[in-house]
Amino acid sequence: MTVLGIDIGGSGIKGAPVDVTTGTLTEERYRVETPQPSNVDRVVAAVAEVAKRFGESDRIGITYPGVVLDGVTKTAANVHKSWRDAPAADLLAAAVGCPVTVLNDADAAGVAEMRFGAGRDRRGVVIMLTFGTGIGSAVFVDGRLVPNTELGHLELHGHEAERRASDRAREVHDLSWSDWARRVEAYLRHLEDLFWPDLMIIGGGVSKRSEKFLPRIDIRTRVVPAELQNNAGIVGAALIASGEVHQ
């Protein structure tokens, strides 16, 4: 069975076929820019372009940067407002020509890390955080996902956390890695006080540069970079679509 994972992000849409028994990409991933404005029609067309690159698939898992309930996208914090209450699974299945599963992007990344990466075999409370255009979150309790947590929207110093501590905030405000690390540390401390996690996993595009900021963060919880780095969303989406892992 050929299973494709596609990760819709605020700046790019990327995908690849996945070996769901090993968590590895079987072909080099293909990426296109996220259309602007990122309305439903344009993003669906971009996803179809990525899918077409790899020929026919049996199933496709697709991530979305927001809340997804029963294939319907409910929020649109970092994409066009037309995504609110959009029947995403139906629209995307029609565009790619095969069954699709749509889920929150950070949930997908967390599923991959819990199966193949830094969260493998971990019990207790594990929080996966993806730093990119916003901040995505996935919370696991003894390996079970609590879906659609959206912890990037918690208030931090009078602002949504992702407005201060996302990777986009680092770029927009031209922050040094040291200055950005202080903002991330304040955010992580806030999560610690709310959840008392056993492990935090840092994913998203910045995970491949973790040496620039993670050593500067000092909190009581162990914090580690995602082992699958920015491919975690692709892998997790494919795992869910294949039925290897259940939400």
Where do the domains of the chain lie? 3-107+231-242, 121-226
Output the pLDDT for position 110: 98
Going from the first residue of the chain to its last (247 residues), give the mean pLDDT of each consecutive group of 10, the final group possibly shorter: 94 96 97 97 98 97 98 95 98 97 98 98 97 96 97 94 96 97 98 98 94 97 96 97 81
The span from the first CA to the last CA of the chain, in angstroms, equals: 20
For residues 109 and 128, is the Cβ–Cβ distance under 8 A? yes
Output the pLDDT for position 157: 87
CB neighbours (10 Å) of residue 144? 11
Output the pLDDT for position 244: 76
| CATH code assigned to 121-226 | 3.30.420.40
Query: What superfamily would CATH give domain 3-107+231-242?
Result: ATPase, nucleotide binding domain (3.30.420.40)
Output the pLDDT for position 209: 95
Output the pLDDT for position 176: 98
Output the pLDDT for position 247: 66
Domains 3-107+231-242 and 121-226 share a fold: yes
Peptide bond before 147: cis, by omega within 30 degrees of 0?
no
